[in-house]
Structure 1
Amino acid sequence: MLVPADRRVGSMAFVHVERTTRLPPARVLREIPTVPTHRAVIDAARRMRNHDAVVAMMAEAIQRRRCTPEALARELADGKRAGRALPARALSPLLGGARSVAEVDAWRLLGRSKLPECRWNIKLFTAGGRYIATPDALVGRGRSRLGNRLPQPSRRARRPRRDARSEHALSESGCGSAPNPACPAPQ
């Protein structure tokens, strides 16, 4: 809970009270004043010790479009210095396009490898403009990929067929799991 810096209120049980000189305007949700998501996420992240939990929380807020990676970065830069290192380390890959704990792990692994730089979550289209997929990562000039996202979520029973169609479309376009110079250019 954020309170003005001149208030003398302390934390108790499960409520952490933080005094601040940067009290943002409240947004009322169901009659409860709240702070912007980017502020709440960074304030919580500064108190956490588990890297994956911080990444998961930040990625969730970004994926649900509650805030942007840039808003998190601004809040981190503008806020208190205490507890900033872990959130900064967790945010870096998210600013680069990673969207999950698994992608952040891949980001770090690929960063230590001798592979060319990756681009994350880039949409691929056929020459005719039809959407194919969104690979988790395109390695180098996009001629090799890691994972992919399907065009639309589908019901469980139909998903294996849709996965197969997506893989087929990627392979036909020249963008399989192995390097191929014929892979379509990402957009």
Structure 2
Amino acid sequence: MTLLRRLVGVLLVLAGGAALALGLWFHNFLGPGGMARFSVEPVGSTPIVIEPSVLNRTSLPVTISVTPATGSTASIVVGTPSDAAAALGDTLVDVVGPVSVRDQTAPVTRRGTDADGELASVDVWRTTKTADGPTDISISQASAPETVVISPSAGGKLDSVTLAWTRETWARQTMGLIVGGGGAAVAGLAAALWPRRRREVTR
């Protein structure tokens, strides 16, 4: 019985420790507000395209934060996927792919060949916005599917682009992992190290 108790205790320590570590990592990543933020990498002078496979992957709104490089501006346009494809043509762009939770990034894949390509008439876009400093734009799911194109001005560059999704329940879930994992680890440690009772010798 003692051996079994200690074995169960070791397993609880391992499982609880893993849950605790996972909870702490996600709590550090999401913060108290439950915000998952991913940095688009790399960014520079090439336009960034964010397609519905990223924007409309969840039912949550997406906050896109754009910071042009010093002395640069950038245009942020939103439209339907078909209008965006027609406007861009074969323009050289960096398309944002699936986010990497572990690395907290949203890697890009280069597409197109026309490095001198420009956006077509802005008449095709539902929303246009100019960023001459740190700028946020929120994309809801009401008009999905949509495509966002972030294009630095001629000769300009982007300093950073981030995507963020927020859900308060994520923060509570991470706390549940921390509390539950810590409790299980402590209980397992107590079971594994509980001293063996000596049998009384009857004379």
Asked if TM exceeds 0.5, the reply is no
Structure with the largest fraction of strand: 2
TM-score of Structure 1 vs Structure 2, range by shorter chain? under 0.3
The structure with the larger Rg is 2
TM-score, normalized by length of structure 2? Answer: 0.16
Structure with the largest fraction of helix: 1
TM-score, normalized by length of structure 1? Answer: 0.17
